[in-house]
């Protein structure tokens, strides 16, 4: 049981609500904006809509789980599944990430419209690596043993470093042939990924840095950090994908209808 005061409880409640509505709004926007880009770039927007829709669904489940785990008569949140089947379930986040993180990377490849062989090569490397990164991190996330957390954290870092290599070295070779401004935008997109993904290992390592898992402040900080990182990594990322698709469409002769 985590004992939150009213302000802490409301902060988590409101930030989860913010995450949910951000995902849903971005899903709608990227769907209705498809007519503003050339057909060959619409797959990237469809993928973006899928990412935020999947994330929105899981935020709905997280939001409901948080409400159900709140004990009547106070702001105490049940977090121990051994004690109560309605305990707050953060496992939804990992289910979300193992589905959406590979799709995020495929979005980048799709919007660049590379040659089929180049696209296939990048996708067959990035998708398994991203799935492995999430899957390897989960055993450490749920473990209470420091040694186990370190082991799985290190193993999860290996595919993460490989993803960075592919994005910055392999993908970088294809950016010189992109229209003006696209390479710079993709560069910012990669930095956005690194910045937002950096929140997750920080939250992962909090228990190793002496943060009590049952500390209310640490719980609130983790929920706020995860949610803001998710909004930036999915919603802002998706809107940037749309911007790239729009830039490339205009560069290839599509009329600007504002």
* CA torsion angle 153 159 160 164 (round to 10): 160
Q: Is the pLDDT of residue 41 over 80?
A: yes
pLDDT in tens, 60-85: 999 999 988 888 766 788 876 665 56
pLDDT in tens, 82-114: 655 678 888 898 899 999 999 998 998 888 877
pLDDT of residue 113: 79
Give the helix/strand (H/E) hosting 2.
strand 2-3
Nearest to 238 by CA among 64, 51, 10, 58: 51
pLDDT of residue 125: 92
How far, CA to CA in Å, does 191 sit from each of 73, 142, 218, 232, 235? Answer: 45, 28, 26, 12, 15
Q: Report if residue 177 sits inside a domain.
A: yes
pLDDT of residue 188: 84
* CA torsion angle 163 165 166 168 (round to 10): 110
Per DSSP, the three-state class of 169 is: helix
pLDDT of residue 208: 67
Q: Report if residue 257 sits inside a domain.
A: no
Identify the residue whose tokens are 């910045």: 195
pLDDT of residue 60: 95
Q: Report if residue 88 sits inside a domain.
A: yes
Q: Report if residue 256 sits inside a domain.
A: no
Q: Report if residue 258 sits inside a domain.
A: no
**Where residue 212 falls among pLDDT bands split at 50, 70, 90?**
low
Q: Report if residue 119 sits inside a domain.
A: yes
- What is the Cα–Cα distance from 246 to 251, expressed in whole angstroms? 9
The pTM of the full predicted model, rounded to 2 decimals, is: 0.88
* CA torsion angle 37 175 190 153 (round to 10): 130
pLDDT of residue 73: 65
204 vs 54, higher pLDDT: 54
Q: Report if residue 116 sits inside a domain.
A: yes
| Residues ≥6 apart with Cβ < 8 Å to 71 | 1, 77, 78
Q: Report if residue 216 sits inside a domain.
A: yes
Q: Is the pLDDT of residue 258 over 70?
A: no
**Where residue 155 falls among pLDDT bands split at 50, 70, 90?**
very high
Structural domains of the chain, count? 1
Q: Is the pLDDT of residue 17 over 90?
A: yes
The range of the structural domain enclosing residue 98 comes to 2-251
199 vs 57, higher pLDDT: 57
- What is the Cα–Cα distance from 103 to 92, expressed in whole angstroms? 17
Question: Can you spell out the DSSP letters for 59-119?
Answer: HHHHHHHHHHHBPTTS-EE---TTT-TTS--THHHHHHHHHHHHHHHHHHHHHHT--HHHH
Nearest to 7 by CA among 162, 248, 237, 224: 224
- What is the Cα–Cα distance from 130 to 98, expressed in whole angstroms? 8
Contact by Cβ (8 Å): 114, 173? no
pLDDT of residue 257: 63
Q: How confident is the model over 242-257, as a mean pLDDT?
A: 83
- What CATH number is associated with residue 124? 1.20.1070.10
| Residues ≥6 apart with Cβ < 8 Å to 207 | 144, 146, 149, 213
């Amino acid at each position: 049981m985590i004992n939150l005061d009213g302000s802490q409880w409301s902060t988590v409640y409101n930030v989860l609500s913010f995450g949910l509505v951000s995902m849903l709004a971005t899903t709608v926007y990227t769907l209705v904006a498809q007519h503003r880009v050339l057909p060959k770039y619409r797959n990237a927007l469809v993928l973006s809509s899928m990412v935020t829709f999947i994330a929105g669904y899981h935020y709905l489940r997280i939001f409901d789980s948080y409400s159900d785990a709140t004990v009547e008569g106070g702001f105490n949140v049940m977090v121990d599944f051994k004690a109560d089947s309605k305990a707050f379930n953060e496992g939804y986040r990992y289910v979300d990430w193992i589905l959406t993180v590979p799709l995020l990377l495929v979005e980048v490849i799709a919007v660049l419209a590379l040659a089929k062989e180049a696209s296939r090569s990048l996708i067959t490397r990035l998708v398994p690596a991203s799935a492995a990164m999430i899957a390897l991190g989960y055993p450490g996330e749920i473990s209470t043993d420091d040694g186990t957390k370190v082991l799985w954290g290190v193993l999860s870092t290996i595919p993460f470093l490989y993803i960075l290599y592919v994005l910055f070295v392999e993908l970088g070779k294809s950016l010189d042939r992109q229209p003006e401004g696209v390479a710079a935008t993709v560069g910012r997109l990669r930095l956005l990924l690194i910045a937002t993904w950096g929140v997750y290992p920080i939250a992962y390592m909090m228990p190793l840095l002496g943060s009590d898992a049952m500390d209310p402040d640490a719980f609130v900080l983790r929920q706020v950090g995860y949610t803001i990182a998710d909004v930036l990594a999915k919603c802002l990322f998706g809107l940037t994908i749309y911007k790239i698709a729009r830039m490339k469409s205009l560069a290839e002769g599509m009329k600007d209808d504002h």
